[in-house]
Amino acid sequence: MLSKIVVLWSIFTLLFLFPTTAQPVVYNNSKALIQIGGALSLYTDKDNVLTLDGVRQQQFKPSGQEVPNLQITPYTQWARFSILNRTKSPQLFLEVEYPIIDDITLYEMLPDGSTKATRLGEFTAYKNRGYDHQNYQFQIQVPTNETREYYLKVRAGEQLQLPIYLGTPETVYEKNNKRELIFGIYVGVIIAMACYNLFIYISTRDNSYLIYVSYIICVGLTQVTLQGYSFRFLYPNSPWLAMHATVLVPIFNGLTAVIFIQKFLSTKINYSLGHTLLNVVIGLYLLCFIPTFADQYTYAQIMVQIAAFLAASMAFVVAWRISLKGVNAARYFLLAWSVFLISIFIFVLRNFNVLPYNNFTYYALQIGSGCEVLLLSFALAHKINVFKAEKEASQQMALAISQENERLVREQNIILETKVKDRTEDLQATNLELNTALTNLKDAQTRLVEKEKMASLGQLTAGIAHEINNPINFVTSNIKPLKLDIADLKELLNRYDELPHSSDVPKTLADIAQFKREIDIDYIHEEISSLIKGIEDGAARTAEIVKGLRTFSRLDESDVKSIDIHEGLDSTLVLLRNAIPPYVNIVKDYASLPKIECYAGKINQVFMNIFSNALNAIKSKKEHHNEFISIKTAQENSFVVITIKDTGIGMSEAVREKIFDPFFTTKDVGEGTGLGLSIVFSIIEKHRGKIVVNSAPGEGAEFIIYLPLNISNHLS
């Protein structure tokens, strides 16, 4: 009994305390391609710092799996194995059929004790591999009947598996050619379905097809990325994108899938709770971008897988609930989605080594996604047929309703024709009365406008008469003293003329000197200069008033012409000078403006009416302190802006809204017709401009006028 215990303890010690070294892989058929995952010994470097020398001192554990599954881990994984070559071909190929590994290095222990290292992976550009294939391929030299030891160092942020094949270059190429042929068929199906649904979208303009095309493309890109073709053909010079594509592409795949499901199943209408839950899944997918761009790649992979699981489950539940309501589209979707879920289930079982790593499990996901794409295309086509049938039924119903309406219309037409005839006679009589009333109204309006013009003209004439009277009186008052001074000068000249005929020249000169003192000849000279200067000023003032009147009226300019807007403002102020109280200051702030095209006389009439209203508003105040009217000009793009602001009594909101209405006035009866600002508005409107009024009670009023620089452009 004791001897049996000793034997068992010896076996336990040998198996567990001193693990045996894995047997070498024996390659004895040069036409065979074998998987060597079961012959690997594995070790996990959780510190990510061990070198080859350091890792050789560690205890490796046999993998026990044909395709070792190392899960999602941030640690560095080491694999150790030996190869015994029994064939006559010393040149062998070692291929790791998992192209999304970030960093992979093969160390070969040479007979002389040195080490040969070959480093590959997505961390570097594709061209640095030295060969043209997405899988990781290592050429190894193992002489016949010799054994070589190898160490494989790998690291990846995603699900890590090691499907390792050993064979000759010919057997590896043969396998890859078959893989690429089948994958090419898959890609062809994806492209064909994408183009087919894109053409349908162009024909129908149904957004469901455009979203589905995006989903198909993302499904294809997911497979292309997992198979390593995207790094090989799409972005061979972008290691960052190669390392992150296995997260980014599934994110976009999931987003397009969820959005398509919402659109295809009309979840917002058919199942609002499911629509909300799918929105939560969309939010979870969007959150996956955060660890991705923060280079927390492992966490990003885990989040993507969680989001994918929730999306797949939620899509199935939502489709099932909607199918219970009798929606055929949901039943088609359930069939397609079930096929896809089965392929995912097979893929996951393969990753966890529940199912073997063979051609069926390798192509399961491609077959499932391809079938899903085809079935969903049929579902969309069925949806078109349903819509077409509903449309035809709707058209038939609309036709029946139209025929019934037509019958009713025919019956009603007879009654309506009689009523229309009677109503037409009434309307003709009413129209005659309205035409008469309109004619009378136009006549009254014309008389009122003329009255307003005559009133303005009367005020203007009175002001001009007063303005001209002042300088004329000044000239008249200077003429009489000028005549007296000239008479004295003529008398002095006459005495000088009599000097040659005088018998007593000295006495005559003495009389002339006495006369000069009497008339104060120096004062006469100064007075004459002063009187002439006064007459010149009066004449200039009169000419200025006449010029201002001519500029204001523009009687000879009824067409559109280019004018200086400042000249019109100044001429208007000249004519209103007599009406401006001494306590009102005119403040000018003129900008440098180009000439503008306008009807000059009408624009001056606008200024006259606004200035007159401003003066009346200031005069209406009970007390006057620092009163002014400010005039500011500026240019804004293709418009000239004239701002006229006063310190008058202002106006309320109700008054401000009506000031441009014809016949509206706040003056007492008989003091105004209420047409002044209405005429202003019509003139500015004729110029394709606009006028803005800002005012409040007690704060004065501000009129902002916008006039185009080229009225001809706006009139066209």
Domain end point (choices 345, 364, 383):
383
Per the domain annotation, does 52 fall within a domain?
yes
Tell me the pLDDT band of 136, cut-offs 50, 70 and 90.
Answer: very high
Per the domain annotation, does 317 fall within a domain?
yes
Q: Do 366 and 405 fall within a single domain?
A: no
Is the torsion defined by CA of 289, 294, 298, 303 positive or negative? negative
Q: Do 156 and 38 fall within a single domain?
A: yes
Q: Do 688 and 618 fall within a single domain?
A: yes
Provide the pLDDT for residue 12. 39
Residue 455 has pLDDT above 60, yes or no: no
- List the structure tokens of 476: 């008249």
CA distance 52 to 50: 7
Interacting residues of 687 by C-beta distance below 8 A, sequence separation 6+: 598, 599, 602, 603, 707, 708, 711, 714
Provide the pLDDT for residue 706. 93
| Helix, strand, coil abundance in the chain, percent, nearest 5 | 60, 15, 25
Tell me the pLDDT band of 11, cut-offs 50, 70 and 90.
Answer: very low
What integer best gives the mean pLDDT of the chain?
80
Per the domain annotation, does 153 fall within a domain?
yes
Count of residues in the chain: 716
Provide the pLDDT for residue 456. 55
CA distance 75 to 411: 88
- List the structure tokens of 39: 């012959």
Residue 16 has pLDDT above 50, yes or no: no
Q: Do 518 and 539 fall within a single domain?
A: yes
**Mean of the pLDDT values across residues 454-473?**
59
Q: Do 223 and 259 fall within a single domain?
A: yes
Nearest to 314 by CA among 289, 268, 340, 280: 280
Provide the pLDDT for residue 384. 64
- 613 vs 380: which has the higher pLDDT: 613
- 368 vs 192: which has the higher pLDDT: 192
Ramachandran region of residue 115, left (φ > 0), alpha (ψ -120 to 50) or beta?
beta
CA distance 336 to 315: 11
CA distance 636 to 626: 30
Domain end point (choices 118, 134, 167):
167
Q: Do 109 and 196 fall within a single domain?
A: no
pLDDT digits (tens, 9 = 90+) for 623-649: 888 889 999 999 998 899 999 999 998
Residue 713 has pLDDT above 70, yes or no: no
Q: Do 58 and 206 fall within a single domain?
A: no
pLDDT digits (tens, 9 = 90+) for 655-664: 888 888 776 6
Domain end point (choices 521, 550, 579):
550
Q: For 33-163, where are the E strands, in sequence order? A: 34-35, 41-45, 61-62, 69-71, 76-85, 91-96, 103-109, 115-120, 136-141, 147-155, 160-161
Q: How many helices (DSSP H) and strands (DSSP E) are in the chain? A: 19, 20
CA distance 240 to 232: 14
**Mean of the pLDDT values across residues 371-400?**
70
- 210 vs 669: which has the higher pLDDT: 210
Q: Do 302 and 235 fall within a single domain?
A: yes
Q: What is the dihedral of CA 137, 140, 145, 151, to 10 degrees?
A: -80
**Mean of the pLDDT values across residues 30-43?**
90
DSSP state of 400: H
Rounded (5°) CA angle 505-508-513: 125
CA distance 382 to 336: 13
Q: For 369-506, where are the E strands, in sequence order? A: none
Q: How many domains does the chain have?
A: 4
Tell me the pLDDT band of 14, cut-offs 50, 70 and 90.
Answer: very low
Provide the pLDDT for residue 2. 35
CATH number at residue 300: 1.20.1070
Residue 579 has pLDDT above 50, yes or no: yes
Residue 505 has pLDDT above 50, yes or no: yes
Provide the pLDDT for residue 17. 37
Are residues 214 and 263 in contact, defined by beta-carbon separation less than 8 angstroms? no
**Mean of the pLDDT values across residues 222-228?**
86
Provide the pLDDT for residue 677. 80
Provide the pLDDT for residue 290. 92
CATH number at residue 137: 2.60.40.2380
Question: Kind of pairing, strands 627-636 and 584-589?
Answer: parallel
For residue 39, give its domain range: 19-167
Provide the pLDDT for residue 548. 57
Q: For 86-146, where are the E strands, in sequence order? A: 91-96, 103-109, 115-120, 136-141
- 667 vs 192: which has the higher pLDDT: 192
Q: What is the dihedral of CA 522, 524, 530, 536, to 10 degrees?
A: -130
Q: Do 23 and 103 fall within a single domain?
A: yes
**Mean of the pLDDT values across residues 328-341?**
77
Is the torsion defined by CA of 301, 307, 310, 311 positive or negative? negative
Per the domain annotation, does 14 fall within a domain?
no
Provide the pLDDT for residue 464. 62
> What string of H, E and C letters represents the secondary structure of 663-713?
CCCCCCCCCCCCCHHHHHHHHHHHCCCEEEEEECCCCCEEEEEEEECCHHH
Residue with tokens 């010029």: 547
Residue 555 has pLDDT above 50, yes or no: no
Provide the pLDDT for residue 568. 84
Q: Do 546 and 645 fall within a single domain?
A: no
- 443 vs 261: which has the higher pLDDT: 261
Tell me the pLDDT band of 295, cut-offs 50, 70 and 90.
Answer: confident
Per the domain annotation, does 205 fall within a domain?
yes
- List the structure tokens of 655: 């008054």
Ramachandran region of residue 96, left (φ > 0), alpha (ψ -120 to 50) or beta?
beta
Written as one letter, the residue type at 304 is V
Provide the pLDDT for residue 276. 92
Nearest to 533 by CA among 475, 468, 472: 475
Interacting residues of 94 by C-beta distance below 8 A, sequence separation 6+: 106, 137, 138, 140, 150, 164, 165, 166
Are residues 632 and 643 in contact, defined by beta-carbon separation less than 8 angstroms? yes
The rounded percent of the chain whose pLDDT value lies above 90 is: 19
**Mean of the pLDDT values across residues 407-434?**
80
Nearest to 282 by CA among 258, 299, 266: 258
Per the domain annotation, does 10 fall within a domain?
no
Provide the pLDDT for residue 459. 56
- 135 vs 473: which has the higher pLDDT: 135
| 3-state secondary structure (DSSP) of residue 469 | helix
- List the structure tokens of 599: 């009807």
Provide the pLDDT for residue 9. 38
| 3-state secondary structure (DSSP) of residue 72 | coil
Provide the pLDDT for residue 325. 85
**Mean of the pLDDT values across residues 219-248?**
87
Chain centroid to Cα 172, Å, comes to 53
Per the domain annotation, does 637 fall within a domain?
yes
Q: Do 481 and 565 fall within a single domain?
A: no
Residue 614 has pLDDT above 60, yes or no: yes
What ranges in 499-520 are assigned the alpha helix state H? Answer: 505-519
Nearest to 629 by CA among 668, 576, 670, 682: 576
- 115 vs 716: which has the higher pLDDT: 115
**Mean of the pLDDT values across residues 81-94?**
92
Per the domain annotation, does 7 fall within a domain?
no
Q: Do 663 and 691 fall within a single domain?
A: yes
- 243 vs 466: which has the higher pLDDT: 243
Residue 471 has pLDDT above 90, yes or no: no
Helix axes 676-686, 600-619, angle to 10 degrees: 150
What ranges in 266-296 are assigned the alpha helix state H? Answer: 267-270, 272-287, 289-293
Least confident of 62-66, 454-458, 530-534, 634-638: 454-458
Least confident of 122-131, 533-542, 702-711: 533-542
The rounded percent of the chain whose pLDDT value lies above 70 is: 81
Query: CA-based Rg of the chain, rounded to a whole angstrom?
Result: 52
